[in-house]
Structure 1
Amino acid sequence: MGKATGFLEFARELPVDKDPLERINNWDEFHRPLPEEKLRNQGARCMDCGTPFCHTGELINGMATGCPINNLIPEWNDLIYRGLWKEALDRLHKTNNFPEFTGRVCPAPCEGSCVLGINNPPVTIKNIECSIIDHGWDMGWVVPEPPKTRTGKKVAVIGSGPAGLSAAAQLNKAGHSVTVYERDDRPGGLLMYGIPNMKLDKEKVVLRRIKVLAAEGIKFVCNTEIGKDISPEQLLEENDALILCIGAGKPRDLPIEGRDLGGIHFAMEFLTANTKSVLNSNKEELICAKGKDVVIIGGGDTGTDCVGTSIRHGCKSVTQLEIMPKPPEVRAKNNPWPEYPKIYRLDYGQEEAAAKFGHDPRVYTTTATKFEADDQGNVAAVHTVEVEWQRNEQGRFIPQPIEGTEKRIPAQLVLLAMGFLGPEQMLLEKMGLESDVRSNIKADYGQYATNLPKVFAAGDCRRGQSLVVWAFNEGREVARECDRFLMQKTNLP
């Protein structure tokens, strides 16, 4: 794959992003492309490794190992090395409906399991993937491809996030008539409102692809909430199958003293309002961080996005509380290849904070104990304490406060980014859907059928909060099983 000796001749190289102090002045994407010659050299680094773990898509110790949608990575690396861009795009689209999304927001578990990565920096898989699809759009190769025939079957998809879009795209390819329902004002779900514009451009990237899907025959109905604006019974009566891809939108709360004070918000409230304001030319009301001390409670991608957004607002300071310990600089012994490497990284938001304020905003092994009020009933500070992780009587690790480490952090805006607890329950209760012990919709992986006839579920509402690429995996797979249900056979992968 690639050049036989490429991994010996070429070092890992990524394009240099726009300077942090420059890019925080706007909401534009900040990644730059790599020149073609250098990109081909990166493709040449892909080894003829015999067993390419990069596209296995397995779960090891609860983490993705390799690509969950089984991208044929060695094949398109080889094609890029040879300069065969169109063939590389065709190969990429065989497994991935939306490589422009994964090429921007996926954490790249494929690179964590790259064989070259055992003792060298891994192949730049994510950057090559994004470059292939961006080149395809530039060349006009990505065009609507509506099915030649229709089956006469109708499918309703509730939710237009990653799982819903991929399910709709695959079912439409099979010739079914697909309608996607979205309660927000624009389709895209998490891709539209859960990820900031500088990380994934809404007009140039997300809506561009949705326009192609619409031209292929998929109908999008926005500003419509199933269970309120349309009953689920009506959808079941009008369609031959129904697929639930409603995400896991119930945020984890922090019920400590002062939680009801003004200025404390869930991260998604903050991010959604901001993106709507950006898209509507600042006409929407947003939760503004300008001139404020911001404290973000929680890590992960959502916490990082809150950091980057707060800085672009012009915050006075930003602090990010992480209850977990700081990860090591290199893989720990209990985190061997090909597991996803749990190592210290400076993501884009933290990089911008370091450039503006002089340090990484994250404070590790620290939790909030109470919110302090000002005389107007708004938050004025967050009280914290350091913790150490100890086993309890059941053998589980739990955080224990360390006496004498209490601190007070000024804050006029607090953002809760501690993850999600499953799907909102209103629709599940109205439909009588069975849930698992974590309140997710009960539907076996690989089958996706719920306890209700002709009703399927996929994505975060079925598996819990997870990666965008796992949602794409489940969207494609639920489409296959739905097609099998409708036609008694399927040709979908």
Structure 2
Amino acid sequence: GGGPAGLAAATALNLTGHTVTVYEKNAAPGGLLRYGIPDFKLSKKMIDRRIALMEEAGIRFECGTEVGRDISGGYLARRHDATVLTIGTPQARDLAVPGREASGIHFALEFLQGQNRVLGRECAALPVNAAGKRVVVIGGGDTGSDCVGTSVRQGAASILQIEIMPKPPETRSPSTPWPQWPYLLRTSSSHREGGERRWNLATKRFCVEGGRVAGLEAVTVEWEFSPLGRPLTFRELPDSAEFIPADLVLLAMGFTGVAAEGVAAELGLAVDARGRVQPAPERGIFAAGDSASGASLVVRAIADGKRVAQAVDAYLKGGAQ
């Protein structure tokens, strides 16, 4: 995997003197840096510059190559002394409610990757286009915010971002004192560009007309809070159902981890109940980033890539003695 964890691990191992090959299933390295984060937040020229420096340093990239489809785990074992799995958390959290099968309902990354691939000239047309449509984004995190900003740029007729969680406080909650990550309301540049945000809404079903989504039915929820102000549990308010029109629904509710089948199975690795790969360092197989610890931040993926590089280096030096 050529995302932030993989690139960090490759760089650190290269600096230590090892020969490194990065296998990436996409057409170019970067992972979510290239295919998830919109160009208006991260110019892909920054990634290209870093990849060029890595190649000059001797790191080899095999793009368009997927383990389990193009090459096998056995091939990796025969060709390399150690393997590091850094494939992120490819499984998006779904919303299993009636009407989910309708067209016009997509995972956020389908939408964001399509935009980035068009801008990167990997494809000519947007696979999911918000132009002229009433867009509803389900999920209030960074990925949902990126969907808002991308929908603005594609010319959506309207944009509504809904979240089941309550609206965070305007200032840091006492439940997250420094140095903890503060629980408070965050407004991104995308939110300032357009669209509306609503909280305390749970989607009960999608309304379908002629096989396409026409909207969704949502209910208001009421939260119970801890003494310090953190949401704990919620209940649905009776007689609060409402219809929200939509021509395009984007699911931005996070990620559930790595599937037990696929690359993990190909390498003979177990996956725990939270979708985290269990490495086998005794066999020279390591894991880093989101695939090892769950979905998190880019900076944490980079740090974990550097950490695992130290473990790989120690394994290789021990094996050579």
TM-score, with structure 2 as normaliser: 0.94
Amino acid at match of 1:437: A
Return the match for 1:325 from 138, 143, 166: 166
1:340 to 181, 184, 193: 181
| Equivalent in 38, 41, 58 of residue 196 of structure 1 | 38
For 2:52 and 2:141, how far apart are their aligned partners in 1?
Answer: 31
Matched ranges for 1:228-247 at <5 A? 228-247=69-88
Quick check: 1:429 aligned with 2:259? no
CA deviation string 1:140-159 (max 9, x = no partner)? xxxxxxxxxxxxxxxxxxx0
Instruction: Report if aligned partners of 1:433, 1:452 keep a CA contact under 8 Å in 2.
Output: no
Correspondence for 2:95 among 254, 260, 279: 254
How far apart, in 2, do the equivalents of 1:304 and 1:269 lie? 15
Aligned to 2:223: 389
Aligned mates of 1:281, 1:228 — CA distance in 2:
21
In 1, distance between residues paired with 2:152 and 2:178?
A: 35
From 25, 44, 52, the equivalent of 1:183 is: 25
Larger radius of gyration: 1
Unaligned runs of 5+ in 2: 226-230
Identical pairs, percent: 45
Partner of 1:303: 144
CA contact (8 A) 1:420 1:465 kept: yes
SS of 2:100's equivalent in the other structure is coil
Equivalences for residues 72-83 of structure 1 within 5 A: none
1-side partners of 2:47 and 2:14: how far apart?
A: 18
The match for 1:211 is 52
Total equivalences in the alignment:
313
Q: Displacement of 1:162 after TM fit? A: 0.6
Amino acid at match of 2:161: Q
Answer whether contact 1:162 1:468 (CA < 8 A) is retained.
Answer: yes
Runs (4+) off by over 6 Å: none
CA offsets 1:358-377 (integer angstroms, 9 cap, x no match): xxx21111111110011x21
| Paired residue secondary structure (1:350) | helix
**277, 290, 312: which one pairs with 1:441?**
277
The higher relative CO (CA closer than 8 Å, separation ≥ 6) is in 2
**Corresponding residue for 2:304?**
474
Which protein has the bigger strand share? 2
TM-score, scaled to structure 1:
0.62
Match of 1:41 in 2: none
Amino acid of the residue matched to residue 153 of structure 2? R
Q: Which residue is equivalent to 2:3?
A: 161
Cα distance, 1:389 vs structure 2: 2.7
Task: Note closer, same or farther for the CA distance 1:390–1:328 as it changes in structure 2 (3 Å cut).
Answer: closer
Counterpart CA distance in 2 for 1:427 and 1:281 is 24
CA RMSD of aligned residues (A): 1.7
**Whole-Å separation in 2 of the counterparts to 1:325 and 1:487:** 51
Match of 2:228 in 1: none
Structure 2 residue corresponding to 1:271, chosen from 109, 112, 116: 112
Q: Could you list the per-position Cα deviations for residues 299-323 of structure 1 after superposition, in whole angstroms to 9, with x for gaps in the alignment? A: 1110000000011000000111111
